[in-house]
């Protein structure tokens, strides 16, 4: 039996990363469901908006915890620079770099909600559409840099998150009718 | 009912109070949710046999001071980074390993 105490920050970082991925997936799925008008009931929509905002804020905290805990990992020993600047971490630089970009993107797009009066609702809405990119980058980060990706439960989690997001995104992007209306009444 | 909802969403103080409650509850739920995989990882590591030397070493944890060179006769020789032959007593560098 070995003492894994020296790995607690590594384990904690991974655990927070898993929950952060879950939070990001739920937030993106709820956001897409609202913008794609999958749920139209007025009472439910306002509650979902409130939930979406809350989940986003918690997810941003989890992302900070995921990266921040690695600062205390005696194995990787990354500096603050390596955790905040993409592609500078020695461990799988490409995939960790994509994860850092996803984190920054999630933070900028999530917190821009509070600056929408300053930047304008239209600009904010346009910016907010790119949240799906943060999710895709986070997914690539998990697949490429995650040590749990081969576990069946992790695959089940990623599939369970990605499938509804893919559906909601397709529903949001596809036109309501395959035949464009000509405006002429027959 | 609909009027109450409208008033709730437009009152910033009430919205902030409600948001604080939801965010805090979700944060507690997230920490509890993270505790589960953390415990599984810790227990798994606790019952794992010690990793072999073949495991991937930590990036930056090891500093190679020697290298293997092939001489003209085809024989291999261990030399230091300066090119001088490595002595008999080679001090092993600490190797930190992680297998998960």
Strand partners, B67: B79
Q: Give Cα B33 to chain centroid, integer Å.
A: 19
Query: Residue A62's closest chain B neighbor by CA?
Result: B30
Strand partners, B79: B67, B85
Q: What is the pLDDT of residue A12?
A: 96
Burial A58-67 (b: 16+ CB within 10 A, else e): bbbbbbebbb
Residue B6 has pLDDT above 60, yes or no: no
Asked if A16 is an interface residue toward chain B (Cβ–Cβ < 8 A), one would say yes
Tokens linked to A69: 């805990």
Domain boundaries, chain B: 2-46
Asked if A48 is an interface residue toward chain B (Cβ–Cβ < 8 A), one would say no
* Residue-wise pLDDT tens digits, B38-52: 999 999 888 877 655
Strand partners, A131: none
Chain A with chain B: Cβ pairs closer than 8 A: 84
Pairing of strands B76-80, B66-70: antiparallel
Residue stretches of chain A with pLDDT short of 70:
1, 179-186
Query: Residue B95's closest chain A neighbor by CA?
Result: A75
Task: Tell me the ipTM for this assembly.
Answer: 0.85
Contacts for B86 with CB less than 8 Å, ≥ 6 apart: B66, B78, B79, B80
């Amino acid at each position: 039996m070995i003492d894994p105490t020296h790995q607690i920050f590594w384990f904690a970082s991974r655990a927070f990363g898993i929950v952060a991925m879950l939070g990001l997936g739920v937030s993106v799925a709820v956001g897409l469901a609202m913008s794609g008008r999958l749920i139209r009931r007025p009472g439910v929509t306002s509650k979902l908006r409130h939930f979406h905002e809350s989940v986003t804020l918690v997810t941003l905290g989890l992302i900070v915890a995921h990266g921040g805990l690695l600062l205390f990992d005696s194995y990787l020993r990354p500096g603050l620079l390596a955790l905040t600047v993409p592609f500078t971490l020695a461990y799988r630089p490409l995939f960790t770099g994509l994860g850092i970009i996803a984190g920054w993107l999630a933070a900028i797009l999530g917190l821009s909600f509070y600056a929408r009066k300053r930047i304008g609702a239209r600009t904010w809405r346009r910016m907010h559409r790119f949240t799906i990119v943060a999710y895709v980058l986070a997914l690539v980060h998990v697949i490429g840099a995650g040590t749990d990706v081969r576990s069946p439960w992790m695959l089940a989690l990623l599939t369970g998150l990605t499938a509804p997001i893919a559906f909601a995104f397709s529903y949001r992007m596809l036109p309501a009718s395959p035949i464009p209306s000509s405006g002429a009444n027959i | 009912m609909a009027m109450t909802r409208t008033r709730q969403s437009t009152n910033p103080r009430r919205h902030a109070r409600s948001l604080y409650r939801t965010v805090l509850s979700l944060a507690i739920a997230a920490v509890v949710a993270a505790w589960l995989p953390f415990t599984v990882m810790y227990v798994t590591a606790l019952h794992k046999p010690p990793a072999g030397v073949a495991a991937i070493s930590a990036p930056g944890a090891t500093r190679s001071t020697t290298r293997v060179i092939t001489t003209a006769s085809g024989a291999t020789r261990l030399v230091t980074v300066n090119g001088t032959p490595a002595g008999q007593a080679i001090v092993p560098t600490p190797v930190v390993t992680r297998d998960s």
